[in-house]
Amino acid sequence: MHIEVVTLFPGMVHEALAHGIVGRAIERGLATVVCEDPRSHATDVHRTVDDRPYGGGPGMVMKPEPLAAAIDAAAARAPAGVERVYLSAQGEPFSQALATRWANGAGLVLVAGRYEGIDERIVQTRIDREVSLGDYVLSGGELPALVVIDALVRLLPGALGDERSSVEESFGSGRAGAKLLDWPHYTRPVEFEGRKVPLVLQGGNHAAIERWRLREAVVRTWHRRPDLIAATGLDGEAGELLTEYLAERARDGGTNKGE
Smallest separation (angstroms) from ligand 9WO to the CB of 138: 4
Query: Does 93 contact ligand 9WO by CB under 6 A?
Result: no
Q: In the complex with ligand 9WO, which residue's Cβ is closer, 54 or 251?
A: 54
* DSSP per-residue codes, 111-147: EE--TT-B-HHHHHHH-SEEEESSS---S-SHHHHHH
Peptide bond into 10 cis (omega under 30): no
Query: Does 152 contact ligand 9WO by CB under 6 A?
Result: no
- What is the three-class DSSP state of 92? strand
Cα–Cα dist 36/38, whole Å: 6
Query: Does 80 contact ligand 9WO by CB under 6 A?
Result: no
Return the range that interacts with ligand 9WO (CB under 6 A); candidates 10-18, 67-75, 136-144, 248-256: 136-144
Alpha helices in the chain (DSSP H): 10-16, 20-27, 64-77, 96-103, 120-126, 142-153, 199-202, 206-224, 226-232, 236-251
On whether the CB atoms of residues 87 and 143 are closer than 8 A, the answer is no
Query: Does 60 contact ligand 9WO by CB under 6 A?
Result: no
- Cα distance from N-terminal residue to C-terminal residue, the chain: 42
Q: In the complex with ligand 9WO, which residue's Cβ is closer, 59 or 81?
A: 59
On whether the CB atoms of residues 159 and 153 are closer than 8 A, the answer is yes
Query: Does 87 contact ligand 9WO by CB under 6 A?
Result: yes
For ligand 9WO, the binding residues in 116-135 under the rule CB under 6 A are 116-117, 132-134
In this chain, which of 64, 140, 172, 239 binds ligand 9WO, going by CB under 6 A? 140
Query: Does 38 contact ligand 9WO by CB under 6 A?
Result: no
| Nearest residue to 174 (alpha-carbon basis) of 235, 86, 239, 104 | 235
> Which residue of this chain has its Cβ atom nearest to ligand 9WO in the complex?
113
On whether the CB atoms of residues 163 and 35 are closer than 8 A, the answer is no
Smallest separation (angstroms) from ligand 9WO to the CB of 15: 19
On whether the CB atoms of residues 53 and 91 are closer than 8 A, the answer is no
Smallest separation (angstroms) from ligand 9WO to the CB of 194: 40
Q: In the complex with ligand 9WO, which residue's Cβ is closer, 8 or 159?
A: 8
Q: In the complex with ligand 9WO, which residue's Cβ is closer, 135 or 193?
A: 135
In this chain, which of 69, 138, 197, 246 binds ligand 9WO, going by CB under 6 A? 138
Please give the residue ranges that form the binding site for ligand 9WO (CB under 6 A).
59, 87-89, 113, 116-117, 132-134, 137-138, 140-141, 144
